[in-house]
Structure 1
Amino acid sequence: MTGAHPALARFLEARSAVAGRASLALPDRDEGARGAAISAFLADCLDAAVAELAHGADGVAVVAVGGYGRGELARHSDVDLMLLVPEGSPKETEERAVRMLYPLWDAQLKVGHSLRTPAESVEAAKANIETYTALLDARLVAGDLDSYQAFIDARERLVRGTASWLRAQLVALRERRVHAEPWQLLAVDVKNSRGGLRGLHTLHWLDAARAIAHGHEVEPLAPALLEAHETLTLTRHAVHALVDRPNDVYRPEYAREVADWLGVDSFEWGRQLYRHMRVVDAAVATALSPEERPKRRWWRRGGSEESQSEAARPDG
């Protein structure tokens, strides 16, 4: 983009490259995970840009949250950032923090941001499930390590005391989605429809909260759900490239163009997409059912094949 800040040049070039084809060259990436590789490629480029823009913003921790925090960027994804400042910071520190965002806005990127102390970030999470889940995926991109560590410590205390609340909120969101979408649609939102990426995020948030509370790493998804994630992510990249705007809805009339962009058969890709979404939906139903127990977390690698077969049946 003409006139963009030099720090953003590589990221904007990467966004343009992603608009080409799914076969773009990606160094040091797994050929079997093209969707995730494209997302990580964009996130890596944006990390470098944000780190350069943050140079000189002393006393500020620049933290990626939400989808950006997970490294799951698409061509038209929002850039979700949390700017952390110590308690009692002078106004000049806060002004420096916000100034680093100007080049992102000038490049017409959609930036979601907050400016908070570590304590304020946790208080905000208590009041809003979207803020809470976004913070589960927080990671430091640049800046003040002390402020970030203070946030990490406060987040751990929060998560330890709110496991039941998190689960109840996710159950309520699931119930609203099932009520609005009682059966699988032909035009599916690969992010928000039943069985979409948001379903995989739900599974991730449950386990991320558990991992944070107990101080261990989140286990990888089971192979069937990793395949689903790849199919959904590649489809999302294709739709973003084809319509060239924020849009996650895969429509039957897009099938041929999406398949051409991906270099696949349109019928087989559509069949695979809908099948994977049913598997994800079943996994979410199992995870949020009252009978769910940690030993039955089949959606994580190492779960029993019997549980996988049972949970893969679509629910009503």
Structure 2
Amino acid sequence: MVAVTPLKEQISKKRSDIRAAHQNGTRGQEISSALATLAEDIIAQLYRTALGELETNVRHQLSERISLVALGGFGRGEMSPHSDIDLMFLYRGKPADSAQEFSSALLRRLWDVGFQVGHSVRTIDDCIALGKADDPAKTALMESRFLIGSAPLFRAFHEQFEKRVVDHRVDEFLLSKIKERYQEYDRYGTSVYMLEPDIKRSKGGLRDLHIIQWAALVRYSIATLDDLHHKAFLSSKDFHALTQAREFLWRVRAELHFHAGSAQDILTFDEQIRLAEQFGFADEPHLLGVERFMQQYYRHTTAVADISARFVTRCRSVSVWDRLSGLLPSRRPERGFLITNRRLTIDPAFRGEVMSSGTRLMRLFFLSVRENISIADELLEELHVQIDGMTQDQFSDPSISEMFLYILAGPHKIIAVLDLMHRVHLLEKIIPAFGWARGLMQFNQYHKYTVDEHTLRAVACAEAFAKDSREPKERSDFSQVYQDIRRKDLLHLALLLHDLGKGRKGDHSLIGADLAREASQRLGLDDRETSL
């Protein structure tokens, strides 16, 4: 029997070495792999010891009938310092008593050396039945990886599970994962711009990277981002954005776990300050180091959330209606634009003209509202880069102001359009002060979101009063007041501007008033409208 104390010391020494490598700047991917390899090595060592202590005939039977399998994140070979180890004892034949006894003996030793192990003992038929009945179980099982034991047994399981479970009900599975993810958003944050996000479960966190891999497994039988890129299912731009974000999030999560000594995934204010200093984000004249650190976090998670949503959408089957729509001729709402497959896009013949003109790009969003139709996802991907390369002067035009105020007036889904405009950096071209507010932290107990997200949500709350609400009475009264306001465009503009003075020297309300006057002048409002 392996002595527990020396083995615990061996594990502690190895974990200390991994932590030192992390603190010296080793890449997050290498730290994650090193932690997984350490767990694999200890499991293999204890497996061989436990097997060697059995009688010869039992040992030979079990070595051919049992396989140790890593599941979930451990199956992907991705571990953080205090991740749980999800382990399956796959066995063949009956009775199962010997497999149960062996698994119990091995688990006790793993617990004795300090491993947090979730476990199951299953046959191939058990796995297939469970995978068909339970999508979370299917997700864990399809990321399985052989560790030690009977390799032929694992191969048989893998082939049958892929054929009988993974390749079936693909669209139902994807819808189930989307629903699960939205439930996590409701609990951990529906916005990327949470002030204290959960780096695994909040929007744009590691879980959104996982859902890309799950969708790729069931739709394309591809398990890694590298293979998705090599086989052209991910563009080079998206691939590099995802790998950079993953590296950043892995490093942050490793540091959170190492420092807390537990599975800590919440990026609290205190941890943000500590990590910003540790990762070398120094203060600048008008921006604290912690603000620079969090802006990088928001940049990465925004990219992950966006790419994940687009990728999963592409993995879903095209509906009958969409296929029929694709056979219909494109409709031209006006010169330079097309409606194809129920999506608004740019006419290829006018692409250069539209993409180089601030007025024409604004027209795209205006038409989306007027025609009540979504802008094509692939076009939105390009707009961010294109608009970033344009000047604010290219968006200073009376016609742009007129279209912007039209959008703000409603009664269409104002916040949905503003969110898109913010996503592609158009909003800050029209209201320059909004660029300063992007990802700007608010270090106080009264706010839950960054300044830009806070102002957008203020507009969303106001817009919600447009809906008929009979109870409670207080809300009904507010709804009536909102509906009686004639210039809702000015109300929504005021809400967009109300906190943009934050993060600057001086009284933010006075600075905000100056910014509001500048924005009003830029939008061509008269003195009365500006004073309102």
Q: Which residue does the alignment assign to 1:182?
A: 190
CA distance in 2 between counterparts of 1:239 and 1:133 reads: 26
Equivalence map 1:1-316=2 (5 Å)? 4=4, 6=6, 9-20=9-20, 22-24=22-24, 34-55=27-48, 56=51, 58=63, 59-157=65-163, 158-180=165-187, 181-183=189-191, 184-212=193-221, 218-220=227-229, 222-265=239-282, 266-267=289-290, 268-289=292-313, 308-309=381-382, 314=423
TM-score, structure 1 normalization: 0.83
- The aligned residue for residue 340 of structure 2 is none
Q: CA deviation at 1:22?
A: 2.2
Q: Distance in 2 between matches of 1:12 and 1:68?
A: 19
Q: What is the CA–CA distance in structure 2 between the aligned matches of 1:15 and 1:282, rounded to whole Å?
A: 35
Q: Could you tell me which amino acid in structure 2 is paired with residue 160 of structure 1?
A: D
Is the contact made by 2:87 and 2:119 (CA closer than 8 Å) also made in structure 1?
A: yes
| Higher Rg | 2
Measured in 2, the distance between the counterparts of 1:235 and 1:118 equals: 38
User: How far 1:20 moved relative to its partner?
Assistant: 4.6
- Match of 1:109, SS state, is coil
Q: CA–CA distance in 2 between the matches of 1:291 and 1:136? A: 17
- The answer as to whether partners of 1:125 and 1:131 remain within 8 angstroms in 2 is yes
Query: 1:157-208 deviations in whole A, cap 9, x for unaligned?
Result: 2111121221111121233234443322111111111100000000011112
Return the letter of the residue paired with 1:99: A
Distance 1:141 1:9 in 2: 23
Structure 1 unmatched runs, 5+:
26-30, 295-303
Higher-helix-fraction structure:
2
TM-score by length of 2: 0.51
CA distance in 2, matches of 1:17, 1:259: 23
Aligned-pair distance for 1:102? 1.4
Q: Which residue of 2 aligns with 1:298?
A: none
Which is worse superposed, 166-175 or 285-294?
285-294
**Letter of the structure 2 residue corresponding to residue 123 of structure 1:** A
Distance 1:227 1:71, change over 3 A: same
CA drift of 1:306 comes to 6.3
Q: Hey, what's the Cα distance between the residues in 2 that align with 1:252 and 1:37?
A: 27
Which sections of structure 2, spanning at least 5 residues, go unmatched? 52-61, 283-288, 319-376, 386-419, 425-455, 457-532
Using a 3 Å threshold, how does the CA distance of structure 1 residues 292 and 305 change in structure 2: closer, same or farther?
A: same
SS of the residue aligned with 2:22? coil
Identity of aligned residues (%): 27
Could you say which structure has the greater relative contact order, defined with CA pairs below 8 angstroms and 6 or more residues apart? 1
SS of aligned partner of 2:263: coil
1:101-137 deviation digits (Å, cap 9, x = unpaired): 2122112322111100011112112222221111121
Q: For residues 178 and 207 of structure 1, what CA distance do their matches in structure 2 show? A: 21
CA RMSD of aligned residues (A): 3.0
Q: Which residue of 2 aligns with 1:301?
A: none
